[in-house]
Structure 1
Amino acid sequence: MAHLFTHLQCDMDSEVEVAARTLLHKAGETSLFIRQGVELALSTMVLSCSPGRVLQGLLDGGIRHRNPVCRAATALSLVRLLQVVGVSRVLTGRKTFASKFIPAVSTLAFDAAQDVRTHARAALCLLGCHKEAERAVEKYVQLRDQSEIKKLLCK
């Protein structure tokens, strides 16, 4: 999969959602060899395909997965996606991206698994460096969670 994402790049956009769901499911395998391959494929997917499709694939495939390893792989991929797209573009660009990304990271920031929380909180910390972060949290996160999320934004 990593080779396909590397060489076909945006031509793989139509397959991203199915591939992400499959890869995230395989991330829960106990075999280290398989998990490393999955992580390579997910990071290549984040780098090579269109961000909107990647985001939708990650959200559909892993945010509510029962396996904490799969949720951790999702959270790590979301951090990488944020680094590729850029904080400024997420917060000031298309509203559909931010309206999906910020609630997803906010949900994962309070996950039961430590790895998931660590990656999600790293994404929130990256977002907190931008002046529009608090306004975006107020706009896209549920009212009951806003104060806790704002505390996690690094300033």
Structure 2
Amino acid sequence: MASERNKVKLSKSILDMKFMKRTKEKVLKEEDDAQSRAMYSNEITDKMRKSESYFVIEPSYVPCENLNDGRFSFRGMNPEIERILELEQNAKQAAMDQNVKKDVTDDDMQSAYYGNVKKTIERKFQSKTHRRKISLPEPKFKKPKVDD
């Protein structure tokens, strides 16, 4: 505050000169900041002034939309670029594959799928008489319970 009192203010006519445009903008900005600080001094706390920002400001929308940037080549027009793009794509795919967890293990999938396929193929090649003997029991109708 003491530095603000000792600071010499330039006159308006000097600030209006061509070569003083930047200085004029800087002075106006400082005045606006001082006025806003004075106006909201009782509402803005020290914690608010010193807090960190929780937002990431991205100047481009390319990473937000997962767009590819840079050079491209199609149908073998530039094989070097195509090779580089393929390597980048493989690296991204490998990183994604490591992050993905399986809901069903390989063993469970094998026993569930291939077990049924094996039984179906075995039944297909059995003789008709053998199929009739091993056929699954027919589900019987169960009488519904009556609530009294």
Normalising TM by the smaller chain, what interval?
under 0.3
User: What TM-score do the two structures reach when normalised by structure 1?
Assistant: 0.21
TM-score of the pair, normalised by structure 2: 0.21
Could you say which structure has the larger radius of gyration? Answer: 2
Higher helix fraction (1 or 2)? 1
